[in-house]
Amino acid sequence: MSNRQRVYRTHVVILRRRDFSDADRILTVLTPGMGKKEFIARGIRKTASRKAGHLELFTHSSLMVAHGRTWDVVTEASTVESFRHLRAGLDEIGQASYLAELVDRFTEVDNENEPLWDLLLIALRELDAHALQPHFDARLLLRWFELHLLSVTGFQPQFFHCLNCDKPLEPVTNYMSMQAGGVLCPECAGAAPDAEPIEADVLKVLRHLQRNMWDDLRGLNVRPSLMHQVDAVLYRYLLSILERRLKSVDFLRRLQSLGSAGGPLT
């Protein structure tokens, strides 16, 4: 194998890190062209390491990587976007960790998903830009991120047509089925045993978040009581998918503790 084939460059966002041996770390990263990958950064835990500062959690970095037997090896690293404000306080760390963990849990290694890469960068940039603003409420951004993550990973809930009869949903009280993955009209509510009422205003907000990009939503005001209901619907929908697909008890418990006010990381 030639040197050109052995070494490649990629951009990454650091999702997760774990210590390995005496001085190394295994990095779980998202890339734009290769999906989720695991790399090893040798010697990164040594005080003299020049790569360590470029491989912090949530950092957008450019890496030179060499093919290895078990893990590909990070040989060079430089920071593209540090997102340093996301490590400045517990709220910021919690919100960024939530985004990273959702991406990690909803993806498999080597499954390319460039829309997810774009989505994560939008959310990290927005959180970082507002991290020092005491009155910034991240809930709308997090709910938008959740809905679009669900869309680009194949779990988009149906909010516009009845899951059973496929008729457009009217602005009345309809019925949400977590297990079926969307909303049923009043006439078809009996088709899903777990269907629960969802008010028209809640469905309107969910639709608006699902079909719009963030630039079109920035500054949107949703009254607190309505936002609380939106939080609860998406929180429970995420739990239903994660429990069914990933069996990740620890993550579910973490979501449960973070979502005690009606939604994760509010």
Q: Per-domain residue ranges for the chain?
A: 1-136, 137-249
Which residues, in sequence order, are CB contacts of 232 under 8 Å at separation 6+?
Answer: 262, 263
pLDDT tier, 92 (very low <50, low <70, confident <90, very high otherwise) = confident
CB count in 10 Å sphere of residue 219: 6
pLDDT at residue 258 in the model: 54
Q: What is the CATH number of domain 1-136?
A: 2.40.50.140
Q: What's the average model confidence in pLDDT over 48-57?
A: 86
Give tens-digit pLDDT for 152-180.
999 999 999 999 999 999 999 999 999 99
Please tell me the predicted confidence (pLDDT) of residue 136.
Answer: 77
Q: At residue 60, does pLDDT exceed 60?
A: yes
**pLDDT number for residue 48:** 72
pLDDT single digits (tens) 62-76: 999 999 888 999 999
Q: Determine the pLDDT at residue 155.
A: 95
114-123, 138-147, 197-206: range with lowest mean pLDDT: 138-147
Mean pLDDT for the stretch of residues 37-43? 94
pLDDT band at residue 17, thresholds of 50, 70 and 90?
A: very high
Average pLDDT, the chain: 88
Residue 184 CB: number of other CB atoms within 10 A? 24
CATH class of 137-249: mainly alpha
pLDDT of amino acid 252? 53
Comparing 4-8, 13-17, 65-69, 198-202, the range with the smallest average pLDDT is: 4-8
Spatial separation of the C-alpha atoms in residues 29 and 242, rounded to whole Å? 20
Percent of the chain with pLDDT over 90: 68
Cβ-Cβ contacts under 8 Å for 98 (sequence gap 6 or more): 142, 258, 264, 265
Asked if pLDDT for residue 134 goes beyond 80, the answer is: no
Q: What is the pLDDT of residue 266?
A: 35
For residue 262, the model assigns a pLDDT of: 40
Provide the pLDDT confidence category of residue 264 given band limits of 50, 70 and 90.
very low
- Indicate the residue type of 193: P
Evaluate if residue 45 carries a pLDDT over 90: no
Share of the chain above pLDDT 70, in %: 89
* pLDDT at position 4: 52
Please state, as a whole number, how many other Cβ atoms lie within 10 Å of the Cβ of residue 173.
Answer: 13
* Short-list 231, 163, 155, CA closest to 195: 163
d(CA 242, CA 259): 15
What is the number of other CB atoms lying within 10 angstroms of the CB of residue 167? 11
Contact 45, 56 (CB under 8 A): no
Six token digits for residue 99: 């985004």
pLDDT at 1: 45
pLDDT at position 234 over 80: yes
Q: Which residue has the higher pLDDT, 194 or 246?
A: 194
Cα 89 from Cα 265, distance rounded (Å): 13
